[in-house]
Amino acid sequence: MSHFLDTNVLLYSISTAPKERLKRERAIALLDDDAGVLSVQVLQEFYVQATRPSRSGALTHEQSEALIDAWLRFRVQNLTLAVLQKALSIRKAFGFSYWDSAIVAAAVACECDMLYSEDLSHGQLVEGVTIINPFRG
């Protein structure tokens, strides 16, 4: 069974904030499981946020690029017209932001049974994908 990883999982994996230590450990554990699935959107969002100059502990271009290269071992869903159309449908049906809808649409396209994200409602079932907040509690 495959599971989709949202951008926040990747970002917590590089966090140096002491208050995010448990989230970092959980994110790294999720990334250690080769059943993970990503999308081009998730990798783009990671790059933008990880290299943002105002970010505490911002990564260099080279550091971010190396991590993205390492994560290419996962299945990566491309941005396609079908994903866009599914995202628009999900947005209309569930009221999510377009970007969150596109994450869910990519998970659906990859036939994932779970989507790990802290940005959506824990336990919600969307198009056959269960949203799990791995950082709860």
Question: Is residue 125 assigned to a domain?
Answer: yes
Neighbours of 29 (CB within 10 A): 12
pLDDT in tens, 44-97: 999 999 999 999 889 999 999 999 999 999 999 999 999 999 999 999 999 999
Query: Number of folded domains in the chain?
Result: 1
Rounded distance, CA 33 to CA 2, Å?
Answer: 10
What pLDDT is attached to residue 1? Answer: 79
Q: The domain spanning residue 106 has which CATH number? A: 3.40.50.1010
Q: What are the two backbone dihedrals, phi and then psi, of residue 125, each rounded to the nearest 5 degrees?
A: -105, 125
- pTM for the full predicted model: 0.94
Average pLDDT estimate for 4-17: 96
| Residue among 62, 92, 91, 122 at smallest CA distance from 133 | 122
Collapsing DSSP to helix, strand or coil, 91 comes out as helix
pLDDT over 80 at 137, yes or no: no
Question: Is residue 10 assigned to a domain?
Answer: yes
pLDDT in tens, 92-119: 999 999 999 999 999 999 999 999 999 8
